Amino acid sequence: MSKTVLVTGGTGLVGKALETIIKEKNANQDIWYFAGSKDGDLTILSDTKALFDKVKPTHVIHLAAMVGGLFHNMNNNLDFLRKNLQINDNVLQTAFEHGCVKVVSCLSTCIFPDKTTYPIDETMVHNGPPHNSNFGYSYAKRLIDVQNRAYFEKNGSIFTSVIPCNIFGPNDNYKPEVSHVIPGMIYRMHQLINEDKDTKEEEKVFSVFGSGKPLRQFIYSIDLAKLMLWVLEEYDQVDPIILSVDESDEVTIAQVAEAIARAFNFKGKIVCDTIKADGQYKKTASNKKLRQLKPDFKFSNFEESINESVKWFIENYEIARK
């Protein structure tokens, strides 16, 4: 049966990666609609209804959200909570009223309890308060899981969710006050290299925010898009599924900075600004459930993906969100 898939948040980092995969797959039996805020502000119910009336989706990949890195979250917990609660309730209820066959929403590994055992797995979402830096975003995202269970209980709708680790890739959000660590460092290193041409690059100093010690798992957006397509087509549990690289692929923030420096062939010094916050020290997640269901999946090489992401930014500097 052919599908009409509405991708909310379709103009962002993950949405653009999905669009790339769909174009490559040339899946022409399905209709795909990649919506951004120009198609309607999903915090507004009437806008949400108008979008669904226009697209008439049978399936939804729900990506739209107020999204940001550690510092944006720390300064805007109330907005992250309210805007994401509004978006999620509008989208899920409208999808339910439209009789959508399936909705795949997006949580994040940063929403798990701060005080926890490791590795984290899907059963632990609600086991305690999240890290204080992003409690607004975390509680809004956790509620998606609760909403999904309520819709399933109501009429058996397959409303489910994926839990990605930190994501990076082309078309990221590079705005310094909003961005996640990888686009944030890519933008700042590009600026450092290209400003003040009178100073030799060897004498320039790049600042990593925080101690550089926190650990993160990073998934390339193209890999995530492939896995989300698999979830849309083949994963039919309401319970969420973690989409993350292996625990052994965890890297420190300092190692990320070094990889970005190699991608730019940066010849200067790298220092850590320990005055700035570190956020969560670690949020190591297990991808055991994914590996059991899809044992053949191969993740992209981290260094090569960083190189691709830096190359994209340099070549698309004019149009990048910064």
Interface ranges with ligand GFB (CB under 6 A)? 69-71, 73, 108, 110, 133-134, 137, 166, 179-181, 184-185, 188, 208-210, 214, 216, 253, 276-280
137 is catalytic: yes
Residue 55 binds ligand NAP, judged by CB under 6 A: no
Residue 70 binds ligand NAP, judged by CB under 6 A: no
Q: Which is nearer to ligand GFB, 90 or 280 (CB)?
A: 280
Q: Which is nearer to ligand NAP, 42 or 125 (CB)?
A: 42
Q: Position of tokens 């549990």?
A: 237
Measured CA to CA, the distance from residue 289 to residue 291 in angstroms comes to: 6
Out of 18, 21, 60, 67, name the contact with ligand NAP by CB under 6 A. Answer: 67
Q: Which is nearer to ligand NAP, 106 or 125 (CB)?
A: 106
The structure tokens listed for 295 are 């044992």
Per-residue buried b or exposed e for 3-25, using 16+ beta carbons within 10 Å of the residue's own CB: bebbbbbbbbbbbbbbbbbbeee
In the chain, which ranges are E strands?
4-8, 31-34, 59-62, 102-106, 158-164, 166-168, 205-209, 215-216, 218-220, 241-243, 251-252, 269-273
Measured CA to CA, the distance from residue 251 to residue 108 in angstroms comes to: 18
Strands 251-252 and 215-216: antiparallel
Binds 279: which of ligand NAP, ligand GFB, none (CB < 5-8 Å by kind)? ligand GFB
Q: Position of tokens 């198609």?
A: 39
Smallest distance, ligand GFB to C-beta of residue 150, A: 24
Measured CA to CA, the distance from residue 257 to residue 244 in angstroms comes to: 20
Cα angle 308-309-314, degrees, rounded to a multiple of 5? 100
Smallest distance, ligand NAP to C-beta of residue 98, A: 17
Smallest distance, ligand NAP to C-beta of residue 108, A: 3
Binds 12: which of ligand GFB, ligand NAP, none (CB < 5-8 Å by kind)? ligand NAP
Residue 133 binds ligand NAP, judged by CB under 6 A: no
In 1-42, which ranges are E strands?
4-8, 31-34
Catalytic residue of the set 33, 118, 137, 220: 137
Residue 37 binds ligand NAP, judged by CB under 6 A: yes
Measured CA to CA, the distance from residue 168 to residue 127 in angstroms comes to: 28
Residue 167 binds ligand NAP, judged by CB under 6 A: yes
Out of 13, 185, 227, 261, name the contact with ligand NAP by CB under 6 A. Answer: 13
SS3 of 160, please?
A: strand
Number of residues that bind ligand NAP (CB under 6 A): 26
Residue 180 binds ligand NAP, judged by CB under 6 A: yes
Where on the chain is the footprint of ligand NAP (CB under 6 A)?
Answer: 9-15, 36-38, 41-43, 63-67, 87, 106, 108, 164, 166-167, 173, 180
Catalytic positions: 137
